[in-house]
Amino acid sequence: MRKFETLTSWAATLPQPNIDTAQLIPARHLKTVKRDGLGRFAFEAARYDKKGESNPDFIFNQSPFDKAEILIAGANFGCGSSREHAVWALADLGIRAIISEQFADIFASNAPKNGMLLITLGRDEIAELMQRAKSKRVRINLPSQIVEIEDMQVKIPFEMDPFDKKCLLEGLDQIALTLRQNAEISTYEARWEKKTPWLFHD
């Protein structure tokens, strides 16, 4: 997994709440059996018009935000389906960090497993960031847990799940980590099977 430490980039802003996974990537593109190449489908309905031309009103079609690696979005971002394709599509579009007032639960657990940093901030902080991000780049420092505007006028600390932080900083493979606890899992299984034998079949 790609490591995340610091990032300075233009930030695209999408202020509306409830940006659901169908907006992030429509279901018809889930019929792939691969993870890559999904960036062209990200925000498909908003990004292109009916003829397939770029919609100039959409922020990801406007320079310099077409190169944005940071997205600042409205509350309840990523609600809806569990499709990890939503994260893969955003990552393939170039997004490495998303800032919102609130993320939907499943999206929030999918993102860090793909090296994507999610930052939750308060409503006023988001409003200010969105305003300033129109003309200035945004800088994220994960080790010190700070988001700032390039001109240093705004400096906002953020909270972070320590486990997610460690995985992002070190680019850890979570399955390899868990497999180190194999013995512990076996001990648990023996205990649980004793209590609920009907849950174990061979």
Partner 1 sequence: MADPQAKTLFDRIWENHVVGQRDAVTSLIYIDLHLIHELSSPQAFENLVLNNRKVRRPDATLAVPDHNVPTTDRDKPVKDPESALQIQLLEENTKAHGIEFFSMHDIRQGIVHIISPEQGLTQPGMSIVCGDSHTSTHGALGAWAFGIGTSEVEHVLATQTLVLRKPANMRITVKGELLNGITSKDLALHIIGVIGAKGATGHVIEYAGPVIEALSVEARMTLCNMTIEAGGRSGLVAPDDKTIRYLKGRPRAPKDGDWDKAVAFWATLKTDAGARFDKEVVVDAKKIEPQVTWGTSPEDVISISGRVPDPTHFENPERREAAKKALQYMGLKPGTLMRDILVDRVFIGSCTNSRIEDLRSAAKMIKGRRVADNIIEALVVPGSGLVKAQAEKEGLDKIFKEAGFEWREPGCSMCLGLNPDKVGPGERCASTSNRNFPGRQGPGARTHLLSPAMAAVAAIAGKLADVREYE
DSSP for 32-59, written as a single string: -SSSSS-GGGTTHHHHB-TTS-B-TTSG
Nearer to partner 1, 12 or 19 (CB): 19
Nearer to partner 1, 63 or 159 (CB): 159
Non-local CB neighbours of 47 within 8 Å, separated by 6+ positions? 54, 55, 58, 60, 61
Give the footprint of partner 1 on this chain (CB under 8 A): 15-18, 20, 22-23, 26-28, 30-35, 45, 74-76, 79-84, 87, 102, 104-106, 109-110, 113-114, 161-163, 174-175, 178-179, 181, 184-185, 188-189, 192, 195-202
Classify 13 in phi/psi space as left (phi over 0), alpha (psi -120 to 50) or beta.
beta
Q: Contact at 8 Å (CB) between 158 and 138?
A: no
Nearer to partner 1, 48 or 141 (CB): 48
Shortest Å, Cβ 61 to partner 1: 18
Taking CA atoms, 170 is separated from 98, 143, 145, in Å, by 19, 11, 15
Nearer to partner 1, 9 or 38 (CB): 38
Non-local CB neighbours of 182 within 8 Å, separated by 6+ positions? none
Shortest Å, Cβ 102 to partner 1: 6
Shortest Å, Cβ 154 to partner 1: 21
Shortest Å, Cβ 152 to partner 1: 29
Shortest Å, Cβ 34 to partner 1: 7
For residues 87 and 84, what is the distance between their CA atoms, to the nearest angstrom?
5
Nearer to partner 1, 144 or 198 (CB): 198
